[in-house]
Structure 1
Amino acid sequence: MSAPEVTVTADTNQHYDLDPDIFGQFLDPLRKYSSALYESDSDSLESAQRNKLRFVARRLGLNGGEELLDIGCGWGSLILFMAQEYGCDTLGISPAPRQHEYIAEQAAARGVSNQVRTRVGHFEQLTLPDASVDAVTMLGSIVHMPDLDEVFRRARAVLRRGGSLYVSESCFRNAAARRAFGERAGTEFVRSDIFGWGDLRPLSDLVTAAEDAGFSIASVDDLTNDYRRTIDHWIDNVDVAAERIDAHQPGLAAKLRHYLEVANAGWGYTTKHYALVCRKTR
Structure 2
Amino acid sequence: MHFLSESLSVSASSTGALTVSPSSVFYTDDSSIAQSAANGAQPLTVTYTSVSSALKVPAIVAPRLLVNGAVYSSAFPPQVRISYSGANVQEDYLASDGKTVTRTLLGTSYSVVALTGLISASPAELFANSAVGVLTNTLNGQSLYNRQASWQTGAAYVKVVRHTVGDEAFTYDCVAPTTTGPNPTPCSATISTLENFFPYASTADGKTYQIGDGQIVTLAGMRAWVANAALASAATDYRVYYQNNGEIYAGYLIKDGTTLQLAPLGGGTQQDSYYFLNSAALQSIKSAIVF
| TM-score, normalised by the number of residues in structure 2 | 0.24
| TM-score, normalised by the number of residues in structure 1 | 0.24
Looking at secondary structure, tell me which structure has more strand per residue.
2
Larger radius of gyration: 2
Q: Of the two structures, which has the highest relative contact order with CA contacts closer than 8 Å and spacing of 6 or more?
A: 1
Looking at secondary structure, tell me which structure has more helix per residue.
1
